[in-house]
Amino acid sequence: MTPEALLANWNAAWRALGVAPADDALCAELQRRYSEPQRHYHTLQHLGECLAWFEREQALAERPGEVAVALWFHDAVYDVHAYDNEARSAEWARSAMIAAGAPAEAAGRVHALVMATRHDAVPQGRDAELLIDIDLSILGAEQQRFDEYERQVYAEYAFVPEEVRLPRRRAILQRFLAREAIYTTPRMHALLEARARGNLARSIAAMS
């Protein structure tokens, strides 16, 4: 997405919440965060891909503004050495929404949506299902993009010894492959499920 498209998406998300758009400085700060040097996959490219999917699929959302804001914040904090990135990102989202005048209930739901991107439980509710499908859309990308994604993830964790990194990465991919369905929304399942399973199986085989 171009900077202009990102800003338009940002403003539309806040309008959908029923509050005045948050300060453009916050939008710029989030874009700066997604451009940090330690990131190779969790970047503006990933954010833009997620927002593009959302613009196509937002009719599925119960509260589209909340899903959009959650996408903006879901990787806002990304420290490759930390284990609380989602929690810190979720709290930042909640604080920003309350500061902008959004209801506490909406801020709480966005906090929960961001926390769902830990991928440690089956998403509950249409908004969480859509958000998670969008976050995992990379698994069903065309082979060239999926292979680029794998290289990007490798670069983010290049500091981890290969004898540790490969088994961990293989286990993560196997957990997704073992799911009854990787995608739960009908259109994304139809478009991405088979390709995601092929990508995952190929990547796991390459690590074996």
How far apart CA 148 and CA 190 sit, in angstroms, is 23
Note whether 164 and 62 are same-domain residues.
Answer: no
What is the per-residue pLDDT across 24-40, written as a single tens digit (0 to 9) for each? 899 999 999 999 999 99
Note whether 79 and 27 are same-domain residues.
Answer: yes
What is the per-residue pLDDT across 85-139, written as a single tens digit (0 to 9) for each? 999 999 999 999 999 999 999 999 999 999 999 998 788 899 999 999 999 999 9
For residue 6, name the pLDDT band (cuts at 50, 70, 90): very high
Note whether 14 and 78 are same-domain residues.
Answer: yes
How far apart CA 78 and CA 117 sit, in angstroms, is 13
Note whether 75 and 178 are same-domain residues.
Answer: no
Note whether 101 and 181 are same-domain residues.
Answer: no
Note whether 36 and 96 are same-domain residues.
Answer: yes
How far apart CA 75 and CA 67 sit, in angstroms, is 14
Average pLDDT, the chain: 95
Note whether 189 and 114 are same-domain residues.
Answer: no
Residue 141 lies in a domain: no
Note whether 123 and 30 are same-domain residues.
Answer: yes
Is residue 21 pLDDT above 80, yes or no?
no
Structure tokens at 51: 């927002």
Q: What is the mean pLDDT of residues 45-66?
A: 97
Residue 140 lies in a domain: no
How far apart CA 106 and CA 65 sit, in angstroms, is 10
Mark which of 100, 135, 170 sits at the end of a domain: 135
CB 20 within 8 A of CB 101: yes
Give 100-106 contacts, CB < 8 A, sequence gap 24+: 100/14, 100/17, 100/19, 100/20, 100/21, 100/22, 101/19, 101/20, 102/17, 102/18, 102/19, 106/17, 106/63, 106/66
Q: What is the mean pLDDT of residues 54-58?
A: 96
Percent of the chain with pLDDT over 70: 100
Residue 145 lies in a domain: no
Residue 201 lies in a domain: yes
How far apart CA 46 and CA 138 sit, in angstroms, is 9
Note whether 163 and 97 are same-domain residues.
Answer: no
- How confident is the model at residue 23, as a pLDDT? 78
CB 30 within 8 A of CB 43: no
Structure tokens at 38: 């330690």
More confident residue, 112 or 2: 112
pTM value surpassing 0.85: yes
Residue 64 lies in a domain: yes
Other Cβ atoms less than 10 A from the Cβ of 131: the count is 27
Q: What is the mean pLDDT of residues 49-53?
A: 97
Mark which of 101, 135, 169 sits at the end of a domain: 135
Note whether 12 and 98 are same-domain residues.
Answer: yes
Note whether 168 and 109 are same-domain residues.
Answer: no
Residue 147 lies in a domain: no
The number of distinct structural domains making up the chain is 2
Domain that holds residue 201: 157-207
How far apart CA 141 and CA 191 sit, in angstroms, is 10
Residue 53 lies in a domain: yes
How far apart CA 31 and CA 22 sit, in angstroms, is 14
- How confident is the model at residue 59, as a pLDDT? 95
Residue 192 lies in a domain: yes
Distance of CA 21 to the CA centre of its chain: 21
Note whether 119 and 162 are same-domain residues.
Answer: no
